[in-house]
Each structure stands twice: as C-alpha cells, then as structure tokens.
Amino acid sequence: MISIHFIVNPIAGTGNHGFSETFLQDYFDESQYKLTVKCSSYKGHAIDLTKESVNQKATIIVACGGDGTINEVASTLVNTNIPLGIIPVGSGNGLASNLKIPQNVKKAIEVIKNNHQTKIDVGCVNEHYFFSNVGFGFSASVIKNYEHLQKRTLYYYIKASIKSYKEFNKKRNIEIEINELESFANPFLIFISNTNELGYHVSLTPKASLQDGLLDVLIVPNLNNAKMLLFGIFMLLKKPKTLKEARCFQTKAIKLQRNQGDYFEAQLDGEFLKIQESSIEISINEQALIIIV
Ligand SMILES: Nc1ncnc2c1ncn2[C@@H]1O[C@H](COP(=O)(O)OP(=O)(O)OP(=O)(O)O)[C@@H](O)[C@H]1O
C-alpha cells in the first residue's frame, strides 16, 4: 500500500483549490493508495505536519501550495529517503515551473501517480534551507510589502513592487561585504538562486539549474531610480545581465558580512525573513532532496 500524505495550504494562491480526501479519492485507487490530507493553519505549521507524516511512515509527502509551503514541507524532507510531490496551487509557483510540474491539478496528480523520482540540490542560508532562491535588497523589500498586502496574486505582487520602487532609496543604511573581498553600500540587489525562475515566468538567473551543484549569483550595486527601472525592463526580458552594473557568477558558497545596519532583510523562497546574525554563509547541498517530477 502506498501511503500519500498531502500537506495543503488553504490560503495559497487564490485559496480556491478545495482539496479534501473525497476530492482526491476520485484519482487514487483505494486498493493501492492510502490517502491522508492535512491543512496548515498558520505560517510554519506545514513543518510540524510534515514531521508528523514522517513519523507516521508516509511513502510520499505532497506539498499543495506555493513556494512558501514547498519550502516548509521540503525543509523537513532534506536528506531523508521520502520523496516530495508538488501540486502547485500557489501564486508564483517558481520551483514547480522550473521542474515543469503542471499547474493543472489533475495533471500534477498524474505526475505524482507516475512517481518518477529525481534528486535536486538544496540551498542553505545559515540554518535555513531554500529550494528556489534567497534575495537581499530590492527583492526582500518587494516580499515585505507583498506580505503586508495579505493577498497573494500577481496584481498584488506588482503593487508591492511599485511601492518598493518608490520608497527603496529613501531609508537604507546597510553595507554588505561579499566573501571578505568587496563591500557594497546599500546594494540594489544580492540574489542567489538554485532555480531558473522566480515565479510568474520571470527570471533573474535564466541559466541556473537545480542539478548542477552550483548557486547562481546576481549582484547589482546601489542604483538611482532611472537605472532601477531599466533593470526591471531587462529582468522582464530575462536579460538582467544587460545592465552594465550587474554582475553574475556561479559558486558553491558565498559569505555575506553586515558591516552596517541592524539586521539583514531577506526573502527566502518568497517569504520575508529578518536575519539578526552579522554574517551569513550561503551554500549548496548537492542532490539532498528526492522529488517527483
Ligand atoms: N492557514 C494559513 N493561514 C495563513 N497563512 C498560512 C496558512 N497556511 C500556510 N500559511 C502561510 O502562507 C504563506 C504563503 O504560502 P505559499 O507560498 O504556499 O503560497 P503563495 O504565496 O500563494 O505562492 P508562491 O510562494 O508560489 O507565490 C506561507 O508563509 C505559509 O506558511
């Protein structure tokens, strides 16, 4: 008997996905599959639900939500032999898009039933895992504003980006040193990615791969508002490197040191995070997660 546990975020995306055991039973033969559906009730709850499912000896654990839910479920499955399934019902769904997992629920269920497994790399920021990307500067500001709006659709993402654009250069006082070599006062963006997609088919690191054992890094120093706008256009064209100030490279690890400012503001797989430590180690764990694609 294959025991599949579904960890469902009821507010992901538009929040209209309506998963229940009855809904799923139509797709899984009860002589072969035992289904368990659990809904998260608050941020972080999917971590505890997944730990419980691991203890209950689930064969497969499926994250039903967006990149935030996937992060919570997958973080618990790193370096275990339990494969992660994904039903991408979030708003951006960056990781699922990179993995070519269909956003159509029925097709995503078919992928889980076919159970074709592969291993992907996992990023690590101090004690946190990330599967898609981690960003500092403008990308963290957008996510902070997005979370304040409390609605998770493209329209609100654009609204949050416009707010960040208007306020970004007004209130910053941070200096970040990279790999003890170079320091940047109020950098526009430090973006470190495992995937080639941010969500909504937008990419800052089009050449990144989940299976190359490397992190793709994009660093953009402080920019004036006109250059910020220009960068936005290049980003939509998937050519962020066209901006002459932008620098890209691949690495296995990177160290950030905060020389000024009270904390790091970051976004980790699309969730806002304040990091109090003055130094951050970002690295890659090769092939540390089994995933169904
Ligand atoms: N019942 C709940 N109420 C409020 N927040 C929840 C609940 N369950 C989970 N969350 C939180 O909702 C946040 C958003 O989830 P998720 O990222 O899955 O959706 P999304 O933002 O729509 O998709 P994406 O990240 O792909 O754009 C996560 O931080 C998650 O922990």
In 81-210 the beta strands, taken as DSSP E runs, fall at 84-88, 117-125, 128-130, 133-137, 175-178, 182-185, 189-193
Question: Does 10 sit in the ligand 1 pocket, CB within 6 Å?
Answer: yes
Q: Whose CA is nearest to atom 30 of ligand 1?
A: 43
- For residues 88-114, average pLDDT: 94
Q: Which residues contact 213 (CB under 8 A, 6 or more apart)?
A: 121, 252, 284, 286, 287
Q: The pTM is what?
A: 0.93
Going by pLDDT thresholds of 50, 70 and 90, the confidence category of residue 1 is: very high
- For residues 41-46, average pLDDT: 96
In 132-278 the beta strands, taken as DSSP E runs, fall at 133-137, 175-178, 182-185, 189-193, 215-220, 247-251, 253-260, 264-268, 271-275
Going by pLDDT thresholds of 50, 70 and 90, the confidence category of residue 141 is: very high
Mutating to test ligand 1, I would choose from 6, 11, 84, 268 the residue with most ligand atoms within 8 A of its C-beta, which is 11
- For residues 118-146, average pLDDT: 96
Tell me the CA–centroid distance for residue 241 and ligand 1, in Å: 31
Domains of the chain from N-terminus onward: 2-115 (3.40.50.10330), 129-287 (2.60.200.40)
Does 11 or 150 have the greater pLDDT score? 11
**Over the stretch 219-248, which tens digit does the pLDDT of each residue have?**
999 999 999 999 999 988 888 889 999 999
Going by pLDDT thresholds of 50, 70 and 90, the confidence category of residue 176 is: confident
SS3 state of residue 147:
helix
Percent of the chain with pLDDT over 70: 100
How many other CB atoms sit within 10 Å of the CB of residue 272? Answer: 17
Tell me the CA–centroid distance for residue 71 and ligand 1, in Å: 10
pLDDT at residue 260 above 90? no
- For residues 72-88, average pLDDT: 98
